[in-house]
Amino acid sequence: MTLAVTFSSLTDVDFWVSVLVLAGIYAIVAVGLQLNTGFTGIVNFGMAAFMAIGAYTMAILIIKAGFSFWLSLPCAMAASMLFGVLVGLPSLRLRADYFAIATIAMAEVVRLIAQNARGLTGGNQGLFCDINNPSNCYTNTWNDLSDSINNFISNFWADPPSLLPLLIVIWVTLGIATFVLMRLQRAPWGRVLRAIREDEDAAQALGKNTLRFKLQSLAIAALLGSIAGFFLALDLRTVHPLDFEPLVTFFAFSVLILGGLGSYPGVAVGSVLFWFVLEGTRFIDLPDPPFTETRIAAVRLAITGLLLIGLMAFRPQGLFGKRQEMVLGE
């Protein structure tokens, strides 16, 4: 059996830009998870739902309700945060593990509604640009903006990758989110969150309304999820129920664990590493037969899984997590 690696695609700029776009999107999701799970101690398995609500609300408001692109974004963010608060109000009173189960259920409910409310969401066909009516397309405003950014960039770099503007916007957004959350974490507000993570009863006994803080934490994660949802919709140019499967949340959790619980900058590094491994393994050429395309896809996931297992064995706190906090937290 021969195992060969082709390097030709490794130098393909367009390809790596698209990988970095995905890494940025998942980093934004994982930053929300970091706030919830790393700093508040609430295990949120429902990020895919917030992404779906962000993406669908944006697309539906533009396509069906005639909203402008710029108006649809704050509306979609608000919808996602409101949904987060509504879900959190009953479920955040539960114990942490029950809350985690409730969030998986929530994410599946949202996805199944998206799959079945055909009139609104396009069902299993999803929402995409109608070739016969290109004026009514949720990506139009973004495409124009993206083109003008690339026009500007072409002054310095001839023929930039078409996804470069999206890449820039995503990573700037991630940078801002990371900066703001790190500031919040050092503020008294962040101290209360960490106290809730350590021992919610103790925080309550010291006069902290822990439910309110947990709701805020969840609402901010929902906001980040919706933003990641916009970016995914702009990247893929369709909004489809399969893009918001629970797997999305678990990938984001892998990113979080790789980067390290309790470190915001670690999330970005973890995400880049995760996607480079997951996508880079595409270039491992295995003989066909026995390795058909679907089998290779499975092998790629297996390699990524092995990497995570190895990391857990040798560096359980992740790349940037604090081992002491992890050991003491138990």
Partner 1 sequence: MNEAASNGKPLLEVEDVVKRFGGIRAVNGATLDVRKGTITALIGPNGAGKTTLFNVLTGFYKGDRGSVRFGGEQILGEHPYEIAQKGMVRTFQITKALAAMPVIDNMMLAAADQPGEQLRNLAFRPRAARAREKQVREQAMGLLGLFNLDELANDYAGTLSGGQRKLLELARALMAEPTLLLLDEPMAGINPTLGARLLDHMRGLKQDLGVTILFIEHDMEVVMNHSDRVVVMAEGRVIADGEPHEVRRDKRVIDAYLGEVVVDSAAGEAPPA
Does 237 engage in binding with partner 1 (CB under 8 A)?
A: no
Joined tokens for residue 280: 């880079």
Contact pick of 35, 79, 127, 192 for partner 1 (by CB under 8 A): 192
The residue assigned the tokens 């980067």 is 259
HEC readout, 277-305: HHHHHHHEECCCCCCCHHHHHHHHHHHHH
Contact 259, 87 (CB under 8 A): no
Does 325 engage in binding with partner 1 (CB under 8 A)?
A: yes
Least distance from C-beta 63 to partner 1, angstroms? Answer: 34
Least distance from C-beta 189 to partner 1, angstroms? Answer: 5
* Cβ-Cβ contacts under 8 Å for 86 (sequence gap 6 or more): none
Does 248 engage in binding with partner 1 (CB under 8 A)?
A: no
Three-state secondary-structure class, residue 239: strand
Joined tokens for residue 38: 């790393």
Which of 159, 201 has the CB closer to partner 1? 201
Joined tokens for residue 54: 């962000």
Please count the residues of this chain forming the interface with partner 1, following the rule CB under 8 A: 28
Does 85 engage in binding with partner 1 (CB under 8 A)?
A: no
Does 204 engage in binding with partner 1 (CB under 8 A)?
A: yes
- The stretch near partner 1 (CB under 8 A) out of 70-78, 130-138, 180-188, 303-311 is 180-188
Separation CA 195–CA 226 (nearest Å)? 27
Helical ranges in the chain per DSSP H? 13-33, 47-63, 69-91, 96-116, 118-121, 140-153, 164-186, 188-198, 200-205, 210-236, 246-259, 264-280, 293-314, 323-328
Does 125 engage in binding with partner 1 (CB under 8 A)?
A: no
Least distance from C-beta 200 to partner 1, angstroms? Answer: 10
Rounded to a whole number, what is the distance in angstroms from the first to the last CA of the chain?
47
Q: What residues does 238 pair with on adjacent strands?
A: 128
Which of 194, 237 has the CB closer to partner 1? 194
Does 95 engage in binding with partner 1 (CB under 8 A)?
A: no
Which of 91, 185 has the CB closer to partner 1? 185
Separation CA 249–CA 226 (nearest Å)? 13
Least distance from C-beta 231 to partner 1, angstroms? Answer: 24
Does 149 engage in binding with partner 1 (CB under 8 A)?
A: no
- The stretch near partner 1 (CB under 8 A) out of 22-30, 49-57, 79-87, 193-201 is 193-201
Contact pick of 10, 112, 202, 247 for partner 1 (by CB under 8 A): 202
Contact pick of 203, 232, 239, 278 for partner 1 (by CB under 8 A): 203
Looking at residues 3 to 22 of the shown chain, list those that interact with partner 1 (rule: CB under 8 A): none
What residues make contact with partner 1 under the rule CB under 8 A? 184, 187-189, 191-192, 194-195, 197-199, 201-210, 216, 324-329
